[in-house]
């Protein structure tokens, strides 16, 4: 009989690994952690979102005991509307995360059939042969947790996304003492957040930003406009607190930001002294140096309020002299150009703009190297798997592990879809399941594949040319001149002569030839070759060429 084994499989996160979903399997029980989405990379043209490929789970649905969510960020909950109807298992989350998931499922009309359950930080639940206990961690959204997973082969600790902040603004510090207690029992496997494994030292406390915000409230001669993530409730709390202390009123701009603020207030995650929060219709009566706006758009998102403001395209807010804009965030990789452009546009309108490169207006939500080492020291795991980060971050995190005494051969730097198998005496990476990126484009999930993307890339680079050829049904001879239309290829006025000449070339070939009058695929290929060669000589471009034959 085969020895019982734990199988751990990270799933789907584009260049980041184990970010969007983690599969933990023991005999007939499967536990899932997180169900997030990623935003597409540049060459994934037209794709809206990317979600994990759960085809591996499709014939094992009856074994899935639950999906446990560590926190309410998109890269951990965003795939639920797509995946939950297929997985159809209970979802455990803390109260705020539960609230955010509910909103998300409601929007996508998948809430009715969802089995959502609240598991508070420190709560425990038995799920098949697993027992899961959550512990609070600090991160850039309240109510984040890590997981202590008791399995028949030992205890797994999953850090979630975390940092160690001894003076958090909202919620509790990361529960190091509970981890130390559990650590003393012996931990089989630690899976830990590698996002900032490149960064030496310690990540500063969220409070550092509070001081910077206070200075800004005091010194800004006019209005203060602060852009941040709507889920970064502790930042919003600090803005409200600083505004209250310096007698400014706070206006929330934008639908998404307003919704999250209302929810956080209702649920008690956010507190505002009476009279600090203002309605937009009170704006006119508020002096400039008593005004603060909170808005989204810190990533340069084209439809966000801040970008609209920067483009003079916002209904309610326009930049005026003496405005101070604060970008209280750092760029998510890939967004750098959008953010730069937004900052440039705000400066052009005369605003002073403060951003992280020139002022301490943001701290991030992930542990730096010393914190990562601290966690490993407390947990003292037998095996270690760095997760949440690009491959190089995992490698650097693995090196940190070696520096605190976790041997290389017990450290597993994995790629998505690889399977870590652990039995009572050993652990090894053994095989790989089918796992690819699933693209969401519009309503469709998964139909966009290599062919469609390659076509889009080709169309994007040099455009396309359609050639319409009318052929006499009886004689097989060309009727009239071939018609040629191009889009995205050349300036059709300037290149009129060239396009015209190419019509003649096709006509000439068809008139001359005729040895394969019925063999359309041969003609098709030949016409494409002729035009490809001619256009490339003339322009050094290679448009997609689509010949059509119509029999008349």
User: How near is the Cβ of 284 to its own copies at its closest, in Å?
Assistant: 29
User: How near is the Cβ of 468 to its own copies at its closest, in Å?
Assistant: 5
Q: Which of 365, 364, 367 is nearest to 393 (CA)?
A: 367
Q: What's the burial of 21, exposed, middle or buried (CB within 10 Å: 0-12/13-18/19+)? A: buried
Instruction: Say if residues 51 and 72 touch (Cβ distance below 8 Å).
Output: no
Q: What's the burial of 347, exposed, middle or buried (CB within 10 Å: 0-12/13-18/19+)? A: middle
Nearer to its own copies, 247 or 457 (CB): 457
Segment lying near its own copies (by CB under 8 A), choices 20-28, 74-82, 132-140, 485-493: 485-493
User: How near is the Cβ of 487 to its own copies at its closest, in Å?
Assistant: 4
Binding-site string for its own copies from residue 44 to residue 73, where x marks contact by CB under 8 A and - marks none: -xx---------------------------
357 scored as a contact of its own copies (CB under 8 A): yes
Residue 464's SS3 state is strand
Instruction: Say if residues 544 and 451 touch (Cβ distance below 8 Å).
Output: no
Nearer to its own copies, 434 or 450 (CB): 450
Site for its own copies in 452-471 (CB under 8 A): 452-453, 455-464, 466, 468, 470
User: How near is the Cβ of 429 to its own copies at its closest, in Å?
Assistant: 13
514 scored as a contact of its own copies (CB under 8 A): no
User: How near is the Cβ of 163 to its own copies at its closest, in Å?
Assistant: 18
Nearer to its own copies, 53 or 143 (CB): 53
Site for its own copies in 266-305 (CB under 8 A): none
Tell me the longest C-alpha to C-alpha distance in the chain. Answer: 89
Segment lying near its own copies (by CB under 8 A), choices 19-27, 42-50, 86-94, 242-250: 42-50
Q: DSSP assignment of 492-535, as one string?
A: TTTTHHHHHHHHHHHHHHHHH--SSTT-HHHHHHHHHHHHHHHH
Instruction: Say if residues 413 and 402 touch (Cβ distance below 8 Å).
Output: no
Q: Tell which one of 392, 477, 501, 516 touches its own copies (CB under 8 A).
A: 392
Q: Tell which one of 67, 243, 343, 510 touches its own copies (CB under 8 A).
A: 343
DSSP 411: B
Q: Tell which one of 336, 423, 511, 519 touches its own copies (CB under 8 A).
A: 336
Site for its own copies in 411-450 (CB under 8 A): 415, 441-444, 447-449
Q: Strands of 159-217 (E only): list them.
A: 187-193
395 scored as a contact of its own copies (CB under 8 A): yes
- Rounded distance between C-alpha atoms, residue 266 and residue 339, angstroms: 32
Segment lying near its own copies (by CB under 8 A), choices 26-34, 84-92, 375-383, 391-399: 391-399
Show which residues are catalytic.
193, 366
User: How near is the Cβ of 214 to its own copies at its closest, in Å?
Assistant: 21
484 φ/ψ angles, rounded to the nearest 5 degrees: -130, 130
Q: Which of 314, 219, 293 is nearest to 249 (CA)?
A: 293
338's CB contacts (< 8 A; 6+ apart) are 299, 300, 301, 302, 307
Instruction: Say if residues 277 and 240 touch (Cβ distance below 8 Å).
Output: yes
The footprint of its own copies (CB under 8 A) covers 15, 41-42, 45-46, 198, 333-334, 336-337, 340-341, 343-344, 347-348, 353, 357-358, 390-392, 395-396, 415, 441-444, 447-449, 451-453, 455-464, 466, 468, 470, 483, 485, 487-491, 494-495, 538-541, 544, 546, 548, 550, 552
């Amino acid at each position: 009989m085969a020895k019982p084994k734990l199988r751990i499989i990270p799933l789907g996160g584009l260049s980041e690994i184990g970010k969007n979903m983690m599969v933990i399997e023991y005999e007939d029980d499967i536990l899932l952690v997180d169900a997030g989405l990623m935003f597409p990379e540049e060459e994934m043209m037209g794709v809206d979102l990317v979600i994990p490929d759960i085809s591996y789970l499709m014939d094992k649905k009856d074994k899935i005991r639950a999906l446990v969510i560590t926190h309410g960020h998109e890269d951990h909950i965003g795939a639920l509307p797509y995946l939950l109807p297929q997985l159809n298992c209970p979802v455990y989350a803390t109260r705020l995360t539960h609230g955010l998931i509910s909103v998300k499922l409601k929007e996508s009309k998948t809430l009715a059939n969802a089995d959502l359950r609240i598991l508070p930080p420190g709560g425990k639940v038995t799920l098949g042969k697993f027992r899961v206990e959550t512990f609070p961690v600090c991160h850039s959204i309240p109510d984040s947790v890590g997981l202590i997973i008791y399995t028949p082969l030992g205890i797994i600790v999953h850090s979630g996304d975390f940092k160690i902040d001894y003076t958090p603004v909202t919620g509790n510090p990361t529960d190091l003492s509970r981890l130390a207690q559990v650590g003393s029992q012996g931990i089989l496997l630690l899976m830990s957040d590698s996002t900032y494994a490149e960064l030496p030292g310690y990540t500063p406390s969220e409070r550092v930003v509070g001081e910077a915000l206070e200075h800004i409230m005091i010194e800004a001669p006019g209005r203060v406009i602060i852009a941040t993530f709507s889920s970064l409730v502790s930042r919003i709390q600090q803005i409200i607190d600083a505004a209250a202390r310096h007698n400014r009123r706070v206006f929330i701009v934008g639908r998404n930001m307003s919704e999250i603020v209302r929810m956080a207030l209702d649920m008690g995650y956010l507190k505002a002294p009476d009279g600090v929060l203002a309605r937009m219709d009170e704006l006119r009566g508020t002096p400039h140096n008593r005004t603060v706006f909170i808005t989204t758009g810190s990533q340069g998102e084209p439809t966000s309020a801040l970008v609209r403001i920067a483009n003079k395209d916002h209904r309610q807010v326009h930049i005026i002299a003496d405005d101070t804009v604060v970008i209280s965030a750092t760029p998510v990789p890939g967004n750098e150009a959008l953010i730069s452009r937004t900052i440039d546009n705000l400066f052009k309108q005369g605003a002073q703009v403060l951003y992280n490169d020139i002022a301490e207006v943001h701290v991030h939500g992930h542990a730096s190297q010393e914190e990562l080492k601290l966690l490993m020291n407390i947990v003292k795991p037998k095996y270690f798997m760095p997760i949440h980060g690009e491959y190089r971050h995992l490698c650097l995190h693995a090196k940190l592990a070696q520096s605190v005494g976790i041997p290389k051969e017990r450290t597993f730097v994995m790629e998505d879809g690889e399977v870590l198998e652990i039995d009572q005496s050993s652990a090894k990476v053994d095989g790989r399941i089918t796992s690819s990126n699933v693209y969401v484009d519009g309503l469709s999930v998964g139909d966009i594949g290599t062919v469609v993307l390659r076509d889009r890339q080709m169309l994007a680079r040099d455009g396309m040319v359609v050639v319409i050829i009318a052929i006499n049904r009886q004689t097989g001879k060309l009727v009239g001149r071939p018609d040629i239309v191009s889009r995205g290829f050349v300036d059709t006025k300037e290149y009129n002569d060239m396009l015209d000449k190419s019509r003649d070339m096709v006509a000439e070939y068809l008139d001359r030839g005729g040895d394969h009058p019925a063999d359309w695929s041969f003609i098709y290929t030949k016409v494409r070759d002729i035009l490809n060669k001619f256009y490339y000589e003339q322009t050094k471009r290679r448009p997609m060429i689509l010949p059509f034959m119509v029999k008349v």
